[in-house]
Amino acid sequence: MPLEAPELDIRKFEDLVREAQLRIPRYAPEWTDYNESDPGITLVQLFVWLTEMMLYQMNRVPERNYLKFLQLLGMELQPAQAATAHLTFTAKPDAAVESVPRRAQLQAQPPEGSPVIFETREGLDLIRPPLVDVQVFDGAAFSVLSAANRTPGTTFPPLGWLPQLGSALYLGFEPPPPDKPVAGRAFPQEMRFRVFLPLAAQAGQPVSCREHQALPAPPVTLVWEYRPASDPTRWRRLSVFKDDSVAFTREGYINVEGPQEIAATVEEKIAEPRYWLRVRLAAGSYPAGQTPVIDFIRPNTVEAESLVTVRDEFVGESEGLPDQVFTLRRAPVQPDSLELVVEQANVEPQTWERVQDFLSSGPEDQHYLLNATRGELTFGDGQRGLIPPAGVEIIARQYLSGGGGAGNVGPGLITTPLTSLVGVDKVTNERPATGGRDEQDVETLKERAPRLLRSRDRAITAEDYAALAAEAGEVRKATAIALAHPDHPGSEVPGAVTVVIVPDAKIEDRAPKPSADLITRVCEYLDARRLLTTELYVKGPEYQAIKIEARVEARAYAAFDTVARNVARAINEYLDPLGRRLEEGAPSGGSSAGWDFGRDFFPTNLFSVILGVADVVSVPYLAVRVDGKPHEVHEPVRVGRDGMLYGSPEHEITVVPTVDL
């Protein structure tokens, strides 16, 4: 049983008033009117209110001690985490400058809330001509898929449904009109593309955490080619610098050498001349049943994060005193981004080092502490950590500030450049930004502290994996299954551990599955803390949909439509994987923790759930469907160790008036 922080005094307002009134006959026997209209009782209530405030502050002492103990154990509130987005730029064909600098700022304006600023993580050289046409050659015939590539959500196979040697993806870029030639190269020395996979195909899919240390070998060899202007009848090969998509099997960036000179030609079903790039299958074959399918491919795309760069900020001037504290102008701060220097006249500026604590610091060590959440800098006392000499200036050469859940903006909202981008016509994010998380609150830290203390930031037991997975961000529930391998269900694989995670999600998402980005973050977080010999996998849960058909007898005066809606809501709350309340203000039909991993479902329990709804008298008929198939009410629904349930939005609830006998 967990220890609870004690209340040093449990008396409330009413208790204190009653206690004061009981003392009146002893000290003032002539005072006999105890009604609230009496001025003396008004004074009693005033002093009781002041006393209650003092008791409240006194009862908070154990909580403050608790937080101080956590700090001594090295447990701090997790700072806000930045959201990431992939921005696609469209260049101006006639612009003299066709590049986006690193840390270029762009702004998103959500429908509700304040603007959010994003910065690009890398510089980007732009392809001038726009991508207008896409063709796929499957080895036998050409298919025009330009519209499918332009429309997110319309998936297509980039090499055909049955890829074979010679299958190819053709990307057609529109050249400038003949009467308006553009000076300079149409393509930069290095082109960057991003392959976007279908969202549904990525969500919840198992990922091996070791593969994130080094990309796996692609199953096939893909060759990028173009038609040179010197000989438009042949194809010339381009060098591929990086392929994070692993031959279209993953979502990722592809960096390719840009053609020096390229001819505009007519290819197959596209009658207009285009600058064509071809991605051809030159060797190998995809495994059976694993034909790659993509949502779309975009040139001129770069990753951005919801952070703002601050440079050359004057933090303050040292007074030469121990334990000095300075505060940065912007918070929260990304700890690894801060470069702090101390400048003194006629002395080379010295860069100071951030440490977790001063326990290992000596009198001459140029160390400081950073509270990333508040942006506070703390210097040493001369014994543990050097004191900055009096009069020196403390300068933050550079740091990144920002983050939080507000950065998770929707698609098409990051459209306003704040940095001057001369060669850019427009910019957008075709997928929502993800990964943003607010600063951890105190109650969450107190709840997770015992688990983190047991795990010691190392993943050894199943409980360790589950506790640490929840620390990686946006994970609401997690479980770890020992000896489980996603490719060998039902068999025990020595050394394998599969971690199943459920993300925090809105009520509309009945069966929340983790995104590929979230699975990657959890993988990276756990991979640094696992045993060397552990084969670790992270995936989403396997859901089973429960649909209920019921006939309910309700009181004759009840609103039957409301009763039917409340019954369906109570069923879905009972089955909800996260224990969410589906209607604000209504009593919940489920537990606050939600449905547990691997917990079998007994349909007969629904009788008590339905009877708990207001105005319901009896349930004469109940039928259950599991994933669309009829299931016997008296038989349990077996749920795998990585499985969960969710309620269908299409329950059939019939409400009839009760019959009085």
Query: Cα(426)–Cα(411) distance, rounded to whole angstroms?
Result: 15
Query: Which band of pLDDT confidence, cut at 50, 70 and 90, is reported for residue 6?
Result: low
The phi, psi pair for 464, rounded to 5°, reads: -60, -45
Provide the pLDDT confidence category of residue 660 given band limits of 50, 70 and 90.
Answer: low
CA 442 to each of CA 67, 75, 449, 599: distance values in angstroms, whole numbers, following the listed order: 8, 11, 10, 31
Cα–Cα distances in angstroms (integers) from residue 76 to residues 66, 148, 399, 438, in the given order: 12, 48, 20, 14
Can you give the pLDDT at residue 585? Answer: 43
pLDDT of residue 59: 67
CA atoms within 13 A on the CB side of 91: 30
pLDDT in tens, 38-51: 888 899 899 889 88
Cis ω before 332 (30° cut-off from 0): yes
The pTM for the full model equals 0.80
Average pLDDT over residues 635-643: 94
Q: Quick one: tokens of 512?
A: 């929340």
SS (H, E, C) 364-387: CCCEEEEECCCCEEEECCCCCCCC
Overall average pLDDT of the 136-160 stretch: 95
The pLDDT of residue 589: 47
Average pLDDT over residues 41-68: 79
The whole-chain average pLDDT of the chain stands at: 90
Amino acid residing at 51 = T
DSSP state string for 486-554: TTSTTS--TTEEEEEEEE---TT-SS----HHHHHHHHHHHHTTS-TT-EEEEE--EEEEEEEEEEEEE
pLDDT at 2: 40
Q: Which of 64-78, 329-343, 620-634 has the lowest mean pLDDT?
A: 64-78
Q: What are the pLDDT digits (tens) for 447-482?
A: 778 877 788 889 999 999 998 998 887 899 999 999
- Summarised one tens digit per residue, pLDDT across range 299-336 is 999 999 999 999 999 999 999 999 999 999 998 999 89
Q: In whole angstroms, what is the distance from residue 92 CA to residue 518 CA? A: 35
Residue 232: CB partners within 8 Å, gap ≥ 6?
A: 263, 265
Q: What is Dmax (Cα atoms) for the chain?
A: 116
pLDDT at 4: 53
* Between residues 8 and 126, the one the model is more confident about: 126
pLDDT of residue 558: 92
Report the C-alpha gap between 418 and 328 in whole angstroms.
Answer: 23
Reading the block at residue 79, the tokens are 């700072």
* 187-202 pLDDT tens trace: 999 999 999 999 877 7
pLDDT digits 0-9 by tens, 548-569: 999 999 999 999 999 999 999 9
CA atoms within 13 A on the CB side of 336: 1
Tokens of 390: 């009096």
Q: Which of 321, 387, 301 is nearest to 127 (CA)?
A: 301
Q: What percent of the chain is predicted at pLDDT more than 70?
A: 95
Domains and their CATH numbers in the chain: 84-124+406-429 (no CATH), 127-299 (2.60.120), 311-396 (no CATH), 456-539 (3.30.300.30), 542-657 (no CATH)
Of 374, 395, 377, residue with least CA distance to 331: 374
Alpha-carbon distance of 107 to 418, in angstroms, equals 7
From 71-75, 358-362, 431-435, 458-462, the region with the lowest mean pLDDT = 71-75
Q: Is the pLDDT of residue 590 over 50?
A: no
Which of the two residues, 29 and 278, has the higher pLDDT score?
278
From CA 574, how far away is CA 651, in angstroms rounded? 14
* Most confident by average pLDDT, 3-7, 51-55, 68-72, 489-493: 489-493
Q: Which of 293-297, 308-312, 390-394, 580-584 has the lowest mean pLDDT?
A: 580-584
**pLDDT, position 515:** 86
* Band (612; pLDDT cuts 50, 70, 90): very high
Burial class of 37 by CB neighbour count within 10 A (0 to 12, 13 to 18, 19+): exposed
473-498 per-position pLDDT tens digit: 789 999 999 999 998 888 999 999 99
- The predicted pLDDT at position 594 comes to 83
Cβ proximity of 312 and 328 under 8 Å: no
Query: What is residue 8's predicted lDDT score, i.e. its pLDDT?
Result: 62
pLDDT at 7 over 70: no
For residue 534, the cross-strand partners are none
Distance of CA 40 to the CA centre of its chain: 58
Question: What pLDDT score was predicted for residue 58?
Answer: 66
3-state DSSP call for residue 344? strand
Kindly state the percentage of the chain with pLDDT values over 90: 65
Sign of the dihedral defined by the CA atoms of residues 414, 416, 419, 424, in that order: positive
